[in-house]
Structure 1
């Protein structure tokens, strides 16, 4: 019972009614031109239904027609939050993009024809039912039934006053039902096309990938800087040598400054929604990573085979981050142990390998389960390469192959 008065008090009923009447107004304008609205017969009304159709089909071919109809549908079929009914949701699901294909134009044409037919029918029903209510008012006052409506009216009498609201109630519920049908049809005919849904999905996927990339950037850069600072501070305290302490502080300062630069770049990406990829470090700038690891006490040996400057920018930048993560893991889990770094550039692949001895307690239990090593594998996979991490004999190995061809 609580649902019965719903259509009477919802604003959406009347905005949808107005949307239908706007479509009927165009049909009436065409009908004034031909065949005319002076005592139209049933044949004339059929012509009035048919005359606007060619004009609507031609209008549907204009790309902006879909945008115009989408905006009207959003405003009048799905009005503000105060008028929404359950199930409509916060998003109307109506596209306001211009037609981008013949399928979009075809759906727009079907929508315009459907809106015309339903709107003209509701307009005629509105006139007839309102006219019937007026005749009932006249009959209740003792006047004989007139010719305002083609619907039959009872004989004159006071009892007719009780029947006056019935045609109006019927009209409101008719409008509510037709409006519901029109709304559901709009979701199918004016809703996003397959291409638009795919573009939206790609945009959301790109946003998720960007967020993951930023998270990896922060993990690698800030994690490396903090690891170096902790190792340097601990080594300086244990050494008790002013000269070593001075070198350790210099290394902490340099690493912290580089981390701050990376953090500022990431924040700039978040603020400006840009990707200044060219400002990200590449493998040609790997010396500062190696110097930072050496300053922490690790003995780092480097072997470079091939020109690093020929490595494409995206591969070189991701390779830098992979090397950074590998060195960070060495310092974090194994301490100041000897590290061997090998970079081999071939025609089709870049091979990056980092090896270090396992600590006495055995660090293989951490293999591949941390977010850092998982990030290494994800970076390699995104570039179409592969990565292996884990113990190899009495050493821990990070072996990455990235395509450069």
Structure 2
């Protein structure tokens, strides 16, 4: 019983009823001036040009969200669009909405009024009071037992209110909901948001992971060496790497705080010397060969290439230690090629271990390129090719 009565305790049940009555206020007032049936036809005809006005969709959407969903942040509220009509399809659906709301409002108003008049008549029957009302629900004559029918008519009124409210809400979701183009735009926006979150996660993983790896390697080497001069150089390298990591962290946090902040401030392959010097300071012998005009590589490709190189060198330090590494960066024939090799060691990152190599492959795939990682000719290889056109 409590479950059945619960909808009648929700404010949205009655605001939906009010929403239907608002649709028929103007025609109902005209009926008091002149009671003719064709007033409803005039009202229906006037809604057609109104529905063709793009701004009307905003008004109807706001009203529907306020009265039909009660400002809830669920699928019902978000399923009603508050935006001007962008196409003739949107305008056509808006006209159908206005006509359907008028028709359902007329039916709901008529049935509700007749049920209320009937209850008043039934309640007055034992006192032999003539309410002078007429309609399909008003009983003729006066009898004391008529009063016993009031709960039944009250239940019918409640069912009418609930049914009309659910129906008008379903129509709003259908006719005031997003068009296919708006759904596609929303999906693209969500995809961009998810990609941005993934990119930020990669930025933090690559930058902070590289800095921590360098710090751990340098600290371990300094402790093992026991040389004050070497320890000083190691601490300087840790300080420089940590400062660079803090700059990267501040940059990423700046993107999170300011959505309009340009991403051009992120490092590119033209800043690769910083990575190479950091790896050399950690004890890795890096042999570098750069060919082609790196400064002509588009910003997004160059920035992602920098992160791929950073992750590759981090893996060399983490799994290879002070083994020599060969880095080849080439720009030719519309492709950017990155190749990082180091001798295989016992600590080999197997398939699926960690997120670094997976991130390298994902970065390459997002830019339309491809990446190969794994053993090759006695070396561990990270080979990436990215289109630059």
Class of the TM-score when normalised by the shorter of the 2 chains? over 0.9
Q: What displacement does 1:370 show?
A: 2.7
Gaps in structure 1 of 5+ consecutive residues: 38-43
Which residue, out of 276, 301, 305, partners 2:287? 301
Q: Which residue number in structure 2 is paired with residue 285 of structure 1?
A: 271
Conserved in 2, the CA contact under 8 Å of 1:27 and 1:116?
no
Q: Are the structure 2 counterparts of residues 223 and 6 from structure 1 closer, same or farther at C-alpha, using a change threshold of 3 Å?
A: closer
1:390 partnered with 2:381: no
Distance 2:4 2:263 in 1: 61
After TM superposition, the structure 1 stretch with the greater mean CA deviation from structure 2, 131-140 or 188-197, is 131-140
1:149 partnered with 2:149: no
Q: Are the structure 2 counterparts of residues 135 and 296 from structure 1 closer, same or farther at C-alpha, using a change threshold of 3 Å?
A: closer
1:24 partnered with 2:8: no
Q: CA RMSD in A?
A: 2.2
Q: Which residue number in structure 2 is paired with residue 14 of structure 1?
A: 14
Conserved in 1, the CA contact under 8 Å of 2:122 and 2:147?
yes
1:211 partnered with 2:194: no
Conserved in 1, the CA contact under 8 Å of 2:81 and 2:177?
yes
How big is each residue's C-alpha offset from its partner over 1:298-327, in whole Å with a ceiling of 9 and x where there is no partner?
A: 111111111111111111111111111111
Q: Are the structure 2 counterparts of residues 80 and 391 from structure 1 closer, same or farther at C-alpha, using a change threshold of 3 Å?
A: closer
Conserved in 1, the CA contact under 8 Å of 2:65 and 2:71?
no
Q: Are the structure 2 counterparts of residues 395 and 15 from structure 1 closer, same or farther at C-alpha, using a change threshold of 3 Å?
A: same
1:49 partnered with 2:34: no
Q: Which residue number in structure 1 is paired with residue 103 of structure 2?
A: 117
TM-score (norm 2): 0.93
Q: What does residue range 247-286 of structure 1 map to in structure 2 within 5 Å?
A: 247-286=233-272
1:105 partnered with 2:96: no
Q: What does residue range 150-165 of structure 1 map to in structure 2 within 5 Å?
A: 150-151=135-136, 152-165=138-151
Distance 1:125 1:134 in 2: 14
Q: Are the structure 2 counterparts of residues 25 and 240 from structure 1 closer, same or farther at C-alpha, using a change threshold of 3 Å?
A: same
How big is each residue's C-alpha offset from its partner over 1:4-58, in whole Å with a ceiling of 9 and x where there is no partner?
A: 444544433321221111111122245467xx22xxxxxx32x232111221111
Q: Which residue number in structure 2 is paired with residue 41 of structure 1?
A: none
Q: Which residue number in structure 1 is paired with residue 82 of structure 2?
A: 96
Q: What displacement does 1:356 show?
A: 1.2
Distance 2:282 2:7 in 1: 75
Q: Which residue number in structure 2 is paired with residue 404 of structure 1?
A: 388
Conserved in 2, the CA contact under 8 Å of 1:7 and 1:173?
no
Conserved in 1, the CA contact under 8 Å of 2:319 and 2:349?
no
Which residue, out of 20, 29, 52, partners 1:61? 52
Q: What displacement does 1:165 show?
A: 4.6
Q: Are the structure 2 counterparts of residues 58 and 400 from structure 1 closer, same or farther at C-alpha, using a change threshold of 3 Å?
A: same
Q: Which residue number in structure 2 is paired with residue 234 of structure 1?
A: 220
Q: What displacement does 1:160 show?
A: 3.0
Q: What displacement does 1:247 show?
A: 1.4
How big is each residue's C-alpha offset from its partner over 1:247-277, in whole Å with a ceiling of 9 and x where there is no partner?
A: 1111111111000000011111112224532
Gaps in structure 2 of 5+ consecutive residues: none
Q: What displacement does 1:238 show?
A: 1.8
Q: Which residue number in structure 2 is paired with residue 343 of structure 1?
A: 329
Distance 1:215 1:4 in 2: 48
How big is each residue's C-alpha offset from its partner over 1:226-246, in whole Å with a ceiling of 9 and x where there is no partner?
A: 111111111112222222222
Conserved in 1, the CA contact under 8 Å of 2:112 and 2:160?
no
Aligned length: 388
Q: What displacement does 1:153 show?
A: 1.8
Q: Are the structure 2 counterparts of residues 304 and 365 from structure 1 closer, same or farther at C-alpha, using a change threshold of 3 Å?
A: closer
TM-score (norm 1): 0.89
Which residue, out of 122, 131, 136, partners 2:117? 131
